Amino acid sequence: MTFSQAYTLYGPDVERIARRLGIAPHEADRRINAEMNKRHKERTAGDREARRKEYRRDYNLRIRDQLRKIRAGMVA
């Protein structure tokens, strides 16, 4: 059984994965942390890009509004 199969089957249960793979618990824990970090990074990569685009859009709208007010003489 591979680590991926054991992780899919047992989830983040360090002791069961270590016992099933015949490795030390600290090694199983290290592999679980690496897998969880990888999954988190994959899951949030798209979210980060979407938030950045939304921020830039909102920023541009605010700046354009301020520029319109300046040009109209509403802001000193």
Asked whether residue 9 carries a pLDDT value surpassing 60, the answer given is: yes
Higher pLDDT residue, 15 or 49? 15
Global pTM value: 0.57
Asked whether residue 6 carries a pLDDT value surpassing 80, the answer given is: yes
pLDDT at 64: 94
For 19-76, write each residue's pLDDT tens digit: 999 999 999 999 999 999 998 888 887 778 888 899 999 999 999 999 998 888 876 5
Q: Please, what's the b/e burial string for 43-66 (b: 16 or more CB within 10 A of its CB; e: otherwise)?
A: eeeeeeeeeeeeeeeeeeeeeeee
